[in-house]
Amino acid sequence: MEKIPVVELKNLTKRFPGVIANEDVNLTLFEGEVLALLGENGAGKSTLMNMLVGLYRPDEGEIFIKGKKVDISSPQDSMALGVGMIHQEFMLVGNLSVAENIVLGLPDLEIRPPFAKINKKLIELGKQYDLNIDPTSIIDNLTVGEQQRVEILKLLYRGANILILDEPTAVLTPGESKELNKIIKKMLSEGKSAIFISHKMNEVLEFSDRVQILRKGKSVGTRETSTITKLQDIAKLMVGRDVLFSLEKGEYNPGDIKVEIKDVSIEYKKSVRPLLNHINLQVRAGEIVGIAGVAGNGQQALSEAITGLRKITSGSININNKDMSNKTPIQIINMRVSHIPADRNKMGIVGDMSVGENLSMKKYRTEELSHHNIINKALIKIFANKLINTFTIKTPTQYTNAKFLSGGNIQKTILAREIDSCKGILIAVYPSRGLDVGATETVRMSIIKQRDNGTAILLVSEELEELQMVCDKIAVMFEGRIMDIMDTKDATTEKIGLLMAGVERGEM
């Protein structure tokens, strides 16, 4: 079969103030194929795709669709050409219904949209693709997984045959991802073409026919997926250096108990079952205790209880042998407990403040950075530059607002601040969530280094692979309880998987 190109991007360049997001990028998508677009956070994948759908205008270069040169100046132009995109952040209006979201902005929509007819068509489409969505539900009342299905339904309704999927499974639980992947597969089996962006290598290998790799805004090569034998080769192309898929770890020498959680419960009046249900856990110096579990089973409540962000209703939390139950966050910070929060943008940084200010946020009140409550800017400058260099945070200057950094560099900023101020205890919640291979590796190595230096670490993660690679012990949480705690060498994927699903140890 002769391969017909449906999308050709030729020498696309896009500049933002101070940054070249894409430089001379060429890309070809053939009919009926899936092209995986790989690259680190901030490599320019999303920018490139946003030019194809008309959200951004390229500064230079040309776009061809089905052999014809096109000028895409708005999303309506790309829609008319059959290009549809699922964005990394959902493009849904929260207080509108599913149907309203799906027809929003359609150029040939009637002045008074005939919702009865639209709903019927949506239900039919939904049945055809196993997307069980009520078209009259309000988006805000749907789960993340359901919202993602609305995005799919939108593409189907609009008849897109060139699909751009920008990390469609990044925010989904493993179960939801599986469901979604089934649906995507069905869409692809109908001859649609797709460009697929993902950090999850197994998805890339499963779906794609070819991969193209971007690095720092430039294309650095394409490969047939079938010829990929070693993931390391792809990772090396993405990052520009060798990536370790297993990490060097020092000898396991646990010391004193640093954090002791005794019979802790959190009753929550709005839910039927307690957020935490009689939790007992110890973390020793020089040890990493991992918490496995599907998100929402109490992991976050536990980390918030330790860091003083949430009150416990019974039990006690001892830090360095002192009862620190229900103390304020500053009292716990003063015990030199570091915290990498689950939601890095909302709880980890202040987006509108500079990288330097974000880095000094834990220490600004100490004599190290201020004197008699007056902040010493000169000291902060030196301090911030030191951390930026040590943790290789990629930022134009330390005065750049933190929100302009890529996800990986935001996480490095938080990591730098927390590790610098850490004296013995670190609570890390989903530290590598949504990060690319390079940044993930940095995060994991930093955590292991802390452990080798004698820090007691509690690591909450959804990725079993990460837990197995990094931790010394793994505890599994389900519905606010700890199902079991075991040494990592005994923690097989099957065993953890069953415990995560709520199967008791005795029942296995």
Binding site for other proteins (CB under 8 A): 16, 53-56, 74-76, 79, 85, 87, 89-96, 100, 103-107, 109-113, 351, 403-404
CB 49 within 8 A of CB 197: yes
- Strand duo 257-266 + 314-319: pairing: antiparallel
Residues 374 and 471: their CA atoms lie apart, in Å, by 41
Using an 8 Å Cβ cutoff, are 192 and 83 in contact?
no
- The least distance separating other proteins from the CB of residue 477, rounded to whole angstroms, comes to 27
Nearer to other proteins, 147 or 297 (CB): 147
Q: Choose between 90 and 129: whose C-beta lies nearer to other proteins.
A: 90
Which two three-digit tokens encode residue 489?
């060498």
User: Residue 73 Cβ, how far from other proteins at the closest point, in Å?
Assistant: 10
Q: Please give the single-letter amino acid code of residue 120.
A: K
Q: What DSSP state is assigned to residue 297?
A: S
| Beta carbon of residue 374, minimum distance to other proteins (angstroms, whole number) | 29
Dihedral in degrees, nearest 10, Cα atoms 322, 362, 414, 170: 70
Q: How far is the CB of 217 from other proteins (least distance, A)?
A: 15
Least CB distance to other proteins at residue 91 (A): 4
Give min distance, CB of 105 to other proteins, in A. 3
Instruction: For residue 227, give the DSSP letter.
Output: G
Residue whose CB is less far from other proteins, 72 or 292: 72
Query: Minimum distance between the CB of residue 92 and other proteins, rounded to whole angstroms?
Result: 6
Q: What is the CA radius of gyration of the chain?
A: 25
Q: Which is nearer to other proteins, 55 or 335 (CB)?
A: 55
User: How many whole angstroms separate alpha carbon 156 and alpha carbon 163?
Assistant: 10
Closest CA to 238 of 198, 208, 207, 202: 198
What kind and span of H or E run contains 477?
strand 473-478
State which residue, 407 or 424, has the beta carbon closest to other proteins: 407
Nearer to other proteins, 100 or 179 (CB): 100
Helices 437-452 and 231-239 cross at an angle (nearest 10°) of 90
Task: Select 53 or 188, whichever has its Cβ closest to other proteins.
Answer: 53
DSSP H or E run through 497: helix 493-500
